[in-house]
Amino acid sequence: MLNLCLSILFSSLIFVIFKLFSIYKVQTLYAIITNYVVACSVGLFLYKESVTISSVIEKPWFLGTLILGGLFIVVFNLMAATAQKVGVSVASVATKMSFVIPAIIGVIAYKEHLGVFKVIGIFLAMGAVYFASIKESNTKINFSVLLLPALVFFGSGIIDTTINFFQKEHVTPSEFPLFSAMIFGSAAVIGVFFILIQSPKKPLKINFKNSIGGVVLGIPNYFSVFFLLKALNNPEFNSASIFTLNNVAVVMFSTLLGILLFKEKISTKNWGGIALAVISILLVALA
């Protein structure tokens, strides 16, 4: 449970850091790429054994890190496009609701058992994520642009499902630091190519502030994945429970951090979502 709590903490800090980026005018794309480099470096530092390119390529999970690195970059840009064209609340809901995908896959592929209370908890969690994420009332959604949030939903779900698959089938606990590092390393390499393609149209400012932003983001970003892997390795909880608890608690905790740190206004629906989140967490955890 400690690993899950730490994953929730570091995941929530990522949202706080993104908020600080907008306050201090940090160029987000550059900081994101720098963060991947930092996260990769942290993982390599924590890995106790020697690392060579040939030994990493031979790992059964190496292809998975390439896939996940590409997904990290693609889904991030889809999230940005969704927030700009459809709305921030829609992007948030689409991302957090994605826990349903690995939860269902866990039941189908790994025969994970879900009792009645856990099923109720998962359904309550879906409602909790929705109500806790809504920031505007009477928001009208243009159904012609729902493709973007749909892609974010499935993309985020595929990321969680892929991490869960490789954790169960190919990655040993001692390799968690290296596996996490290679995911972020792949994302960094792909991100650099993305920068090179974008640079003629949108030049990036390489400066101290952007670099510090990437460092500050990279450390919690790495540990959010690292501790999620360790939590998934806990035999007392199945993956459906882990992903439900993680995503709902992140929404709840990041919402509370927004209130305390940035004086964000919380509507009645938001408080209802937080209440549902608490109930769903209790049902899933205690069941």
pLDDT class of 22 with cuts at 50, 70, 90: confident
Q: Using CA atoms, how far apart are residues 115 and 285, in angstroms rounded to an integer?
A: 12
Sequence-ordered list of residues with C-beta below 8 angstroms from that of 29, at least 6 positions apart, any chain: 195, 198, 202, 204
Please answer whether residues 274 and 144 qualify as being in contact, where contact means their C-beta atoms are separated by less than 8 angstroms.
Answer: no
Residue 266: which domain range? 2-286
Given a cut of 80, is residue 96 above it in pLDDT?
no
- With both helix axes pointing from N to C terminus, report the angle between 100-110 and 116-133 in degrees, rounded to the nearest 10: 160
Structural domain count, the chain: 1
The tens digit of pLDDT for each residue in 226-281 reads 999 999 988 887 887 888 888 888 877 887 888 888 887 777 887 888 888 888 87
Please give the average per-residue pLDDT across 35-58, as a whole number.
90
